[in-house]
């Protein structure tokens, strides 16, 4: 782990295993941090905070720029490591490296542009100076599904803003995060500005940090269930929470859509990351008039996918992250079938080593099915029919989540009108990917608080200060 600029073991020498989900084979052992290790990381980021906040923004920008260059140069090394510990096919890992690196470049550019302004009070009696300053030491917690991009999305914005941080990666995928921390160090990261703590005891290590008072901000990406408990833990010390939580994306195909284009989009929105993405199309809502064509084409495409180890160049679908993920898929599919859905292809885990699940299409999924309400998080496409646009919008909004919605229609004006009625933080119109370092990524309702990326993302790490001047 990286604590105070040094690579260290856990103080009690404990470790845990990181395994390849495609084979179950051991990849590495990493330190299993104790509460004391977590507090040492907090100490270090607190000590480094004033110096980093005072560092010229150019210095912060150039560190991020050098890290960007290094990640791009080492693209293949990062991609192979992501595939090894997370399972996604190599082409997708390369795409994640490109996406993840982009946050370093974007925030290297944003770092030098912290906005402030000078105002005259309406009564003319005073001057109002408004400036932005780093919130202070941050705790950053990331999930396993995009091990590089979820880390760079937080770290780049935090460091650009002048904050120091303790980063805790998911235990399934700590190796990519450690490699990234190494890259930052080679790029000139001062000791303590970023600490990385790997542990199997996330609540035990993170709880005391949130209770301490010196951590001023929590940025969490993960499930809504864990997000809720962490928001509560932010209460006592009024730690500012940013939450990138779960999604239950509707993918609406209107009757006037270009069906082939919609199927292409559905393949991407559903199958990117084997469906293990918060942005994954969870509910395919298809107009009855185009449903047969859409379902047939989608089933054909899903059936033709090659499932295999992510490092195999033929592989288009890797394993799901673990046995629990596989079991959940089976339960959700069985529940939908019991409620009347029909399996077009797939429907079960694959025999043999690794946690592979067959690419699956279900038609006639009723809104009462569990998969209509919960994140599927796997290669299972669930189709539900609708008859008129109002019904589609009301089905789409019928969820506690509000991260992203997709819609396909040839009529752009109609598409924009529908977008205005969708209760989601992001809407993709005739597109299957919303992730972009230059855009404010994030959800409404129980999908999150705050935004990552874009001009907006850095604001989560900045406080406003207003100075009142006598005229
Ligand atoms: P998770 O179980 O919520 O875990 C996320 C991270 O939080 C892991 O590092 C986990 O470590 C840690 N954690 C769990 N309980 C904790 C606690 N009490 N205190 C501190 N840390 C704790 O989610 P996941 O299964 O890794 O990721 C999948 C979820 O992430 C999905 O719901 C997905 O939609 C969401 N996600 C959202 C976005 C977004 O931008 N909105 C992006 C990617 C993923 P342990 O595993 O050791 O518990």
CATH number at residue 89: 3.40.605.10
Separation CA 335–CA 391 (nearest Å): 24
User: Which are the catalytic amino acids?
Assistant: 244, 278
**177 C-alpha to center of ligand 1: Å?**
15
Query: Which residue has the least CA distance to atom 6 on ligand 1?
Result: 143
Extract the tokens encoding 255: 């009757």
Is the distance from the beta carbon of residue 347 to the nearest atom of ligand 1 less than 6 Å?
A: no
**Total domains in the fold of the chain:** 2
**CA 164, 166, 167: angle at the middle one, nearest 5?**
120
The yes-or-no verdict on residue 460 having pLDDT over 80 is: yes
Question: Same domain, yes or no, for 253 and 121?
Answer: no
CB count within 10 Å of CB 19 equals 15
Question: Same domain, yes or no, for 27 and 170?
Answer: yes
Query: Which residue has the least CA distance to atom 43 on ligand 1?
Result: 278
Q: Return the C-alpha torsion angle 88, 148, 76, 66, nearest 10.
A: 170
Query: Which residue has the least CA distance to atom 40 on ligand 1?
Result: 244
Task: Identify whether 24 is part of a domain.
Answer: yes
**246 C-alpha to center of ligand 1: Å?**
9
Separation CA 179–CA 184 (nearest Å): 9
Question: Same domain, yes or no, for 202 and 254?
Answer: no
Is the distance from the beta carbon of residue 222 to the nearest atom of ligand 1 less than 6 Å?
A: yes
Average pLDDT across the chain, whole number: 97
Q: Tell me: the pLDDT tens digits for 432-441?
A: 999 999 999 9
Task: Identify whether 212 is part of a domain.
Answer: yes
Q: Tell me: the pLDDT tens digits for 191-202?
A: 999 999 999 999
pTM of the model as a whole? 0.98
Separation CA 255–CA 376 (nearest Å): 26
| Contact indicator for 319, 22 with CB cutoff of 8 Å | yes
Separation CA 203–CA 372 (nearest Å): 30
SS (H, E, C) the chain: CEECCEECCCCCCCEEEEECCCCCCEEEEEECCCHHHHHHHHHHHHHHHHHHHHCCHHHHHHHHHHHHHHHHHCHHHHHHHHHHHHCCCHHHHHHHHHHHHHHHHHHHHHCCCCCCEEEECCCCCEEEEEEEEECCCEEEECCCCCCCHHHHHHHHHHHHHCCCEEEECCCCCHHHHHHHHHHHHHCCCCCCCEEECCCCCHHHHHHHHHHHCCCCEEEEECCHHHHHHHHHHHCCCCCEEEEECCCCEEEEECCCCCHHHHHHHHHHHHHHHHHCCCCCEEEEEEEHHHHHHHHHHHHHHHHCCCECCCCCCCCCECCCCCHHHHHHHHHHHHHHHHCCCEEEECCCECCCCCCCECCEEEECCCCCCHHHHCCCCCCEEEEEEECCHHHHHHHHHCCCCCCEEEEECCCHHHHHHHHHHCCCCEEEECCCCCCCCCCCECCCHHHEECCECCCCHHHHHEEEEEEEEEC
Residue 106: predicted pLDDT: 98
Residue 325: predicted pLDDT: 96
Separation CA 337–CA 315 (nearest Å): 28
Q: Which atom of ligand 1 is nearest the CA belonging to 441?
A: 40
Confidence of residue 115 (pLDDT cuts 50, 70, 90): confident
Task: Identify whether 12 is part of a domain.
Answer: yes
Indicate the pairing of strand 6-7 with strand 2-3: antiparallel
The whole-number average pLDDT for the span 288-316 is 97
Confidence of residue 113 (pLDDT cuts 50, 70, 90): confident
What's the CATH number where 351 sits?
3.40.309.10
Q: Which atom of ligand 1 is nearest the CA belonging to 278?
A: 34
Task: Identify whether 318 is part of a domain.
Answer: yes
**325 C-alpha to center of ligand 1: Å?**
13
Is the distance from the beta carbon of residue 145 to the nearest atom of ligand 1 less than 6 Å?
A: yes
**154 C-alpha to center of ligand 1: Å?**
14
Q: Tell me: the pLDDT tens digits for 34-49?
A: 999 999 999 999 999 9
* Nearest alpha-carbon partner for 256 in 152, 450, 93, 412: 412
Question: Same domain, yes or no, for 232 and 279?
Answer: no
> For residue 94, what are the domain limits?
2-246+445-470
**CA 469, 470, 471: angle at the middle one, nearest 5?**
110
pLDDT above 90 covers a percentage of the chain that reads: 99
Question: Same domain, yes or no, for 235 and 290?
Answer: no
Separation CA 221–CA 139 (nearest Å): 11
Question: Same domain, yes or no, for 25 and 100?
Answer: yes
Is the distance from the beta carbon of residue 52 to the nearest atom of ligand 1 less than 6 Å?
A: no
The whole-number average pLDDT for the span 7-20 is 98
Task: Identify whether 152 is part of a domain.
Answer: yes
CB count within 10 Å of CB 134 equals 25
Task: Identify whether 51 is part of a domain.
Answer: yes
Question: Same domain, yes or no, for 299 and 200?
Answer: no
Query: Which residue has the least CA distance to atom 17 on ligand 1?
Result: 203
Question: Same domain, yes or no, for 34 and 67?
Answer: yes
Separation CA 4–CA 8 (nearest Å): 9
The yes-or-no verdict on residue 300 having pLDDT over 90 is: yes
Question: Same domain, yes or no, for 177 and 155?
Answer: yes
Question: Same domain, yes or no, for 336 and 219?
Answer: no
Question: Same domain, yes or no, for 78 and 169?
Answer: yes
The yes-or-no verdict on residue 114 having pLDDT over 90 is: no
Residue 401: predicted pLDDT: 98
| Contact indicator for 355, 323 with CB cutoff of 8 Å | yes
Is the distance from the beta carbon of residue 167 to the nearest atom of ligand 1 less than 6 Å?
A: no
| Contact indicator for 150, 143 with CB cutoff of 8 Å | yes
Separation CA 285–CA 387 (nearest Å): 10
Provide CB contacts within 8 A for 125, sequence distance 6+. 470, 471
Question: Same domain, yes or no, for 164 and 189?
Answer: yes
Separation CA 373–CA 396 (nearest Å): 11
**314 C-alpha to center of ligand 1: Å?**
30
Separation CA 374–CA 329 (nearest Å): 11
């Amino acid at each position: 782990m990286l604590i105070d600029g040094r690579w260290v073991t856990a103080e009690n020498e404990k470790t845990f295993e990181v395994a390849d989900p495609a084979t179950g084979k051991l990849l590495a052992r990493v330190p299993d941090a104790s509460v004391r290790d977590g507090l040492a990381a907090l100490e270090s980021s607190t000590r480094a905070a004033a110096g980093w906040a005072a560092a010229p923004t150019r210095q912060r920008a150039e560190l991020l720029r050098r890290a960007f260059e290094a990640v791009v140069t080492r693209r293949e090394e990062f991609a192979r490591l992501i595939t090894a510990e997370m399972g996604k096919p190599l082409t997708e890992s390369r795409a994640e490296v490109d996406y993840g690196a982009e946050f370093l470049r974007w925030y290297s550019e944003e770092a030098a542009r912290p906005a402030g302004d000078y105002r005259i009070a309406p009564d003319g009696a005073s001057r109002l100076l408004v400036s932005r300053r780093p919130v202070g030491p941050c705790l950053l917690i990331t999930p396993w599904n995009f091990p590089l991009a979820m880390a760079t999305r937080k770290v780049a914005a935090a460091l650009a803003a002048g904050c120091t941080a303790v980063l805790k990666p998911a235990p399934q995928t700590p190796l990519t995060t450690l490699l990234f921390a190494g890259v930052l160090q080679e790029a000139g990261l001062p000791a303590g500005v970023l600490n990385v703590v790997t542990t199997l005891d996330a609540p035990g290590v993170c709880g005391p940090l949130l209770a301490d008072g010196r951590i001023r901000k929590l940025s969490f990406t993960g499930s809504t269930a864990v997000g809720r408990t962490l928001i509560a833990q932010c209460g006592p010390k009024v730690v500012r929470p940013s939450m990138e939580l779960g999604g239950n994306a509707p993918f609406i195909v209107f009757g006037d859509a270009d069906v082939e284009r919609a199927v292409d989009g559905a393949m991407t929105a559903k199958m990117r990351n084997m469906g293990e993405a918060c942005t994954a199309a969870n509910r395919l809502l298809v107009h009855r008039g185009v449903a047969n064509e859409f379902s047939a084409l989608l089933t054909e495409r899903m059936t033709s996918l090659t499932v295999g180890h992510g490092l195999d160049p033929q592989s288009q679908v890797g394993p799901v992250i673990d046995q629990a993920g596989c079991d959940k898929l089976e339960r959700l599919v069985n529940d939908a079938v019991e409620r009347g859905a029909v399996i077009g292809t797939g429907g079960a885990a694959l025999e043999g080593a690794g946690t592979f699940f067959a690419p699956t299409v279900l038609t006639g999924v009723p809104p009462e099915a569990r998969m209509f309400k919960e994140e599927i998080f796997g290669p299972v496409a669930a189709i539900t029919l609708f008859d008129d646009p109002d019904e589609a919008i009301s089905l789409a909004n019928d969820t506690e989540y509000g991260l992203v919605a997709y819609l396909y229609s040839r009529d752009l004006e109609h598409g924009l009108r529908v977008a205005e009625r969708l209760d989601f933080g992001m809407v993709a119109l005739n597109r299957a990917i919303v992730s972009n370092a230059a855009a404010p990524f994030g959800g409404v309702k129980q999908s999150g608080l705050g935004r990552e990326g874009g001009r907006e993302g850095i604001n989560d790490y900045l406080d406003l200060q207003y100075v009142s001047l006598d005229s």
